[in-house]
Amino acid sequence: MIDFLLSHPEKIVSPLLNHIYMTAVTLVISVLLASLLTVLAAVIPVLGNILTAFFSVVYSIPSLALFALQIPLTGLGRTTAVTVLCAYNQYLLLGNFLAGLNEVDPGVREAAKGIGMTVMQELFLVQVPLAKKALFAGIRLAVVSTIGIGTIAAAINAGGLGVLLFDGLRTMNTVKILWGSLLSAILAVSANGILKWAEKGVSG
Partner 1 sequence: MNNRRMIAIEYEQVSKQFSKNAKPSVDRVSAQIEEGEFITILGSSGCGKTTLLKMTNRLLDPSGGRIILFGQDISTVDPVTVRRRMGYVIQQIGLLPHMTVEENITILPKLMKQDRETVRSRARQLLSMVQLDPDTYAARYPSELSGGQQQRVGLARALMPDPKIMLLDEPFGAIDAITRISLQNELLRIHRETKKTFLLVTHDINEAMKLGMRVMIMDKGRLLQFDTPHNIIRHPADPFVEALIRSAYEQQSFWEGVQDD
By CB under 8 A, tell whether 114 contacts partner 1: yes
Residue of the chain from 126, 147, 183, 188 that contacts partner 1 (CB under 8 A): 126
- Min CB(184)–partner 1 separation in Å: 37
Q: Determine if 71 is a binding residue for partner 1 (CB under 8 A).
A: no
- Does residue 103 bind partner 1 (CB under 8 A)? no
Q: Which helix (H) or strand (E) holds 172?
A: none
**Judged by CB under 8 A, does residue 105 bind partner 1?**
yes
Question: What is the spatial distance between Cα 123 and Cα 109, in angstroms, rounded to a whole number?
Answer: 9
Integer Cα distance of 90 and 54 in angstroms: 10
Cβ atoms < 10 Å from Cβ of 15: 25
**137 to 156, contacts with partner 1 by CB under 8 A?**
none
Among 24, 28, 110, 196, binds partner 1 (CB under 8 A): 110
Closer residue to partner 1, CB minimum distance, 105 or 190 = 105
DSSP conformational letter for 151: G
Residues constituting the chain: 204
Asked if 195 contacts 23 with a C-beta cutoff of 8 angstroms, the reply is no
Question: What residue ranges bind partner 1 (CB under 8 A)?
Answer: 105, 107-108, 110-118, 121, 125-126, 129-130
